[in-house]
Amino acid sequence: MAGPDARPEPRPGPGSGPTVADHREYTAIARSEEFGRLRRRHHGFAFPWTIAFLAWYLLYVVCANWAPGLMSTKVAGNVNVALVWGLLQFLSTFVIAFLYSRHARRHLDPVAGELNDRFENARSQQGATR
């Protein structure tokens, strides 16, 4: 927490935001093969796992509503299938998050870093020519 003598961060003045050249460079990067590869890698992971998780979750909901005999089956003591399945929903969420993190670190971050470096280099060259 900031003390009483803390000053607010200075706000950028007019003209310090993105320039037309920044937008041109971004557009060029967005149309590049590397950016297309980045999008395909992201979509190749995100869409199948999202569909799989939603199917898994909806199956749980369907069984909870229309298969109460299955869901109330005792597994151990007072623990039934519904409780185990519900806990597995949480576990699967963490597993998918871990897998995405690993996928991003290995396959997305290197390409995104290259694209960001390219953008920053273009921006710094533009600033040097002003």
**Number of domains the chain contains:** 1
Let me know if residue 3 belongs to a domain.
Answer: no
- Give CA separation, 34 vs 5, 16, 71, 93, 105, in Å: 47, 28, 48, 30, 16
Q: Amino acid identity of 41?
A: R
Let me know if residue 13 belongs to a domain.
Answer: no
**pLDDT band at residue 130 using 50, 70 and 90 as cut-offs:** low
pLDDT score recorded for residue 126? 75
Let me know if residue 109 belongs to a domain.
Answer: yes
Let me know if residue 52 belongs to a domain.
Answer: yes
Q: If DSSP codes are grouped into helix, strand and coil, which group holds residue 127?
A: helix
Q: Nearest CA to 109 among 63, 47, 41?
A: 41
pLDDT score recorded for residue 125? 82
pLDDT score recorded for residue 12? 53
CA distance 61 to 63: 5
Structural domain including 44 reads: 21-128
User: Mean of the per-residue pLDDT values for the chain?
Assistant: 88
Region 6-10: mean pLDDT is 57
Residue 14 has pLDDT above 60, yes or no: no
pLDDT score recorded for residue 60? 97
- Rounded to 5°, angle at Cα 48 from 42 and 52: 140
- For residues 34 and 111, the answer to whether their CB atoms sit within 8 Å is yes
CA distance 113 to 47: 23
Let me know if residue 78 belongs to a domain.
Answer: yes
Let me know if residue 51 belongs to a domain.
Answer: yes
pLDDT score recorded for residue 22? 74
> What percent of the chain clears pLDDT 70, i.e. is strictly above it?
81
